[in-house]
């Protein structure tokens, strides 16, 4: 390709207006459209004013996203591995004052719902416990049409402009020349891209935290991510952010547990959701809203249209207005979970979009993705996607059409008196926001602070959670072979927390510390910790919905096991038995219990707490079984609450923990100790042991 002195060929990454990071030592041909036209700006989509809406005429963005959307046949490019369930949304509070959305007009009304949870980076065959963002997509079949809240379990995102979405996903996915690693980001491409995109630093803190390895879909928050509008009957607009709060509280696993769970049961999250619904332990979330007006948005420290930022709950409390309950599994995985199509553009009257550029880009790309993946514009005819209210229009034909206009007229207006008509009084109306400004590609200067909220997130964590972030960064970056990329990330971390940067540098053997990357906007040191950003500071105080793994055997004490079962039932927890053999075990009184897992297939990482109560005779053989020793040792070193019967002490000794028992370990000698042990499990982990 001939070079031109007027067009630089070194690839660049623009963090915001006026800030450019150049990859030193590399020269390549210029980026072009598929038609061969050189691209001047590959970082920003075309907008009206820096904070204004995107323009449909942005052919460069549309062509780039169009190609990306069509990369997989028929698997989703992202969110490929997912699991869904049916349920309902119940309105707990009417909101006539802020929205005319029909779903919020009648307290106590239940609206059918379908929810799909997913990982992002892995393909369909990947494992559940990858360190990854989790999708949390909700389809509400309202009386005025389908409303999709298409979010994640993290309230912020990696990028500010949708122009960068294909680059982000390409970098995060398996490397194209070798097709690995799968379902993880511990590789050069991902961290190379991230280290060149300072707007990703807030999200980096979240994905390196325990939020990225949830214990269960049932113990996971969901967020709408973007700022939306609610519009009332008088046309007044209010800004809103959507939150799904799990009734059972938040819970995650430790990284060593995640690795072992993926080996023991790669379908762990799927199985957990299926089993919970099948036994009637229906997962439930509260829908909470952060509601604020234009005045707050103008005074807030950051831009509410920036998807890499959040609003701390201490500044705008979350108002609970409804609840979501999942009470039915799918009849057919492919027909429902695989064919369900979520689109951020699917909103109803009373809900509206804002000029968040990432949201605007999603509104375009989701519809295009579903068209390609499901093979037809008629994907709304599929039962899982079809609204449960009347559908009337003149759209016709196309691949897989199951309904068409009836009669002579297939257009509007017509003088035949046939077909539906527009409804100005009840139909959807966009909020008439004022728009003015230059048409250009740029990043708003109000999006320029990339480190302050990343720092706020980090200082909001407990010391244990901070250690997990440090270790996660050290682990992931240790898999990066290019030293310059490691150093570049440490240089970013110095803007977030100096101790964190030094700790990660020590793990990676980086000495001396690289200079901090000059921030485009001063890093604020005055943002206070937010307890809402921590999992451990919001311990749910319940063991409900959790699993107590009982290592038992033939001859185990029936009285002890019955007392454990009753105590767990009182807490709303589930008991599952692990034994030396499959089938059933016969207890000391002749009664039997069904074995859930054989010892070499049921490691303690599958449970939230464990009780070790084999008979004295069984302990003799268990002491020589590596799986049994690992079961006990892992439970201890993963900070689980551990109860043990009087006959089990030799097994604990053989596992190397007998002399280290602490207050998180309980001798189950009588009813009082059993009740006390199960109640202690409400803390979920015995953190002092860490």
Residue 528: both structure tokens together: 């206070």
H-only helix segments in 80-200 = 165-172, 188-195
Please give the structure tokens belonging to residue 473: 């960064």
Question: What's the rounded Cα separation, in Å, for the pair 137 and 123?
Answer: 18
CA atoms of 215 and 253, how far apart (whole Å): 5
- Vertex 537: Cα angle to 288 and 528 (nearest 5): 80
Cβ proximity of 389 and 143 under 8 Å: yes
Q: Which of the following is catalytic: 79, 187, 202, 638?
A: 79
**CB-CB contact of 134 with 117 (8 Å):** yes
Report the residue count for the chain.
690
Alpha carbon 158 to chain centroid, angstroms: 13
CA distances from 380 to 33, 57, 341, 352, 404 (A): 32, 27, 8, 21, 13
Most distant pair of Cα atoms in the chain: their distance: 90
3-state secondary structure of 474: helix
The Cα 154–Cα 139 span in angstroms is 19
Q: Is 399 tagged catalytic?
A: no
H or E element in which residue 547 lies? strand 547-551
Q: Both ends of the chain: CA-CA distance in Å? A: 58
Catalytic residue, chosen from 42, 152, 262, 346, is 152
- Spatial neighbors of 308 by CB under 8 A, at least 6 apart, are 156, 157, 158, 159, 160, 199, 200, 202, 203, 447, 450, 453
d(CA 40, CA 27): 16
Catalytic residue list contains 79: yes
Percent composition of the chain: helix, strand, coil (DSSP 3-state, to 5): 35, 20, 50
CA angle centred on 251, ends 86 and 504, rounded to 5° = 130
- Which distant-in-sequence residues (6+ apart) come within 8 Å of 67 by Cβ? 34, 166
CA-based torsion, 641, 83, 224, 391: positive or negative: negative
From the number of C-beta atoms within 10 Å of its C-beta (0-12, 13-18, 19+), residue 240 rates as buried
Range list of H helices, 357-512: 357-374, 452-459, 463-478, 483-493, 498-508
Bond into 36 cis (ω within 30): no
- Count Cβ atoms within 10 A of the Cβ of residue 407 and give its class: 0-12 exposed, 13-18 middle, 19 or more buried: exposed
Contact 101, 348 (CB under 8 A): yes
The number of angstroms, rounded, from the C-alpha of 534 to the middle of its chain's C-alpha atoms is 15
Listed residue (110, 99, 98) closest to 428, CA to CA: 99
Active site residues: 79, 152
């Amino acid at each position: 390709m001939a070079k031109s002195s007027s067009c630089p060929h070194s690839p660049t990454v623009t963090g915001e207006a006026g800030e450019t990071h150049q990859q030193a030592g590399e020269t390549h041909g210029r980026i072009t459209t598929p038609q061969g036209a050189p691209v001047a700006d590959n970082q920003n989509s075309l907008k009206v004013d820096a904070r204004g809406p995107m323009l449909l005429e942005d052919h460069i963005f549309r062509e780039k996203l169009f190609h990306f959307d069509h990369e997989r046949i028929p698997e989703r490019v992202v969110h490929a591995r997912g699991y869904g369930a049916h349920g309902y949304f119940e309105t707990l509070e009417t909101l006539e004052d802020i929205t005319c959305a029909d779903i919020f007009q009648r307290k106590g009304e239940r609206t059918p719902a379908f929810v799909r949870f997913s990982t992002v980076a892995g393909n369909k065959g990947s494992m559940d416990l990858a360190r990854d963002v989790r999708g949390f997509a909700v389809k509400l079949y309202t009386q005025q049409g389908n409303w999709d809240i298409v979010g994640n379990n993290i309230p912020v995102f990696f990028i500010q402009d949708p122009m960068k979405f294909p680059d982000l996903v390409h970098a995060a996915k398996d490397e194209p020349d070798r097709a690995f690693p799968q379902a993880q980001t511990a590789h050069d491409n991902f961290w190379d891209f991230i280290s060149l995109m300072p707007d990703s630093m807030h999200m980096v803190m979240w994905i390196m935290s325990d939020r990225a390895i949830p214990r269960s879909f049932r113990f996971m928050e969901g967020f709408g991510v973007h700022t939306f509008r609610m519009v009332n009957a008088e046309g007044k607009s209010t800004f809103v952010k959507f939150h799904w709060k799990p009734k059972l509280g938040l819970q995650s696993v430790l990284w060593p547990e995640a690795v072992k769970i993926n080996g023991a049961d790669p379908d762990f999250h799927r199985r957990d959701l299926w089993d919970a619904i099948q036994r009637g332990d229906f997962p439930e979330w509260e829908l909470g809203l952060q509601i604020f007006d234009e005045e707050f948005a103008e005074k807030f420290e950051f831009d509410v249209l920036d998807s890499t930022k959040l609003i701390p709950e201490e500044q705008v409390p979350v108002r609970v207005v409804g609840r979501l309950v999942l009470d039915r599994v799918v009849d057919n995985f492919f027909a429902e979970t695989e064919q369900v199509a979520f689109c951020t553009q699917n909103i109803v009257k009373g809900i509206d979009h804002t000029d968040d550029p990432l949201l605007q880009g999603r509104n375009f790309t989701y519809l295009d993705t579903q068209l390609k993946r499901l093979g037809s514009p008629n994907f709304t005819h599929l039962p899982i996607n079809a609204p449960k209210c009347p559908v009337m229009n003149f759209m016709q034909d196309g691949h897989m059409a199951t309904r068409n206009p009836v009669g002579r007229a297939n257009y509007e207006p017509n003088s035949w008196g046939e077909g539906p008509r527009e409804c100005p009084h009840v139909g959807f109306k966009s909020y008439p926001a004022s728009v003015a400004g230059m048409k250009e590609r740029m990043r708003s200067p109000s999006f320029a602070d990339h480190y302050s909220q990343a720092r706020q997130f980090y200082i909001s964590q407990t010391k244990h959670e901070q250690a997990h972030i440090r270790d996660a960064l050290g682990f992931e970056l240790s898999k990066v072979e290019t030293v310059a990329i490691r150093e570049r990330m440490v240089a970013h971390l110095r803007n977030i927390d100096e101790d964190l940067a030094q700790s990660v540098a020590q793990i990676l053997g980086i000495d001396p510390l690289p200079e901090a990357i000059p921030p485009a906007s001063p890093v604020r040191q005055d943002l206070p910790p937010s307890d809402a950003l921590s999992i451990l500071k919001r311990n749910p105080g319940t063991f409900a919905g959790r699993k107590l793994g009982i290592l038992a055997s033939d001859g185990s004490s029936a009285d002890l096991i019955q007392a454990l079962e009753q105590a767990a039932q009182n807490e709303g927890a589930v008991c599952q038995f692990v034994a030396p053999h499959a089938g059933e075990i016969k207890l000391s009184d002749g009664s039997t219990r069904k074995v859930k897992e054989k010892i070499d297939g049921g490691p303690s990482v599958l449970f939230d707490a464990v009780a070790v109560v084999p008979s004295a005779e069984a302990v003799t053989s268990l002491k020589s079984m590596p799986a049994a020793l690992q079961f006990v040792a892992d439970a201890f070193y993963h900070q689980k609450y551990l109860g043990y019967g009087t006959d089990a002490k030799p097994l604990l000794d053989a596992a190397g923990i007998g002399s280290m028992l602490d207050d998180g370990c309980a001798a189950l000698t009588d009813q009082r100790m059993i009740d006390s042990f199960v109640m202690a499990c409400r803390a979920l982990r015995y953190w002092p042991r860490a």
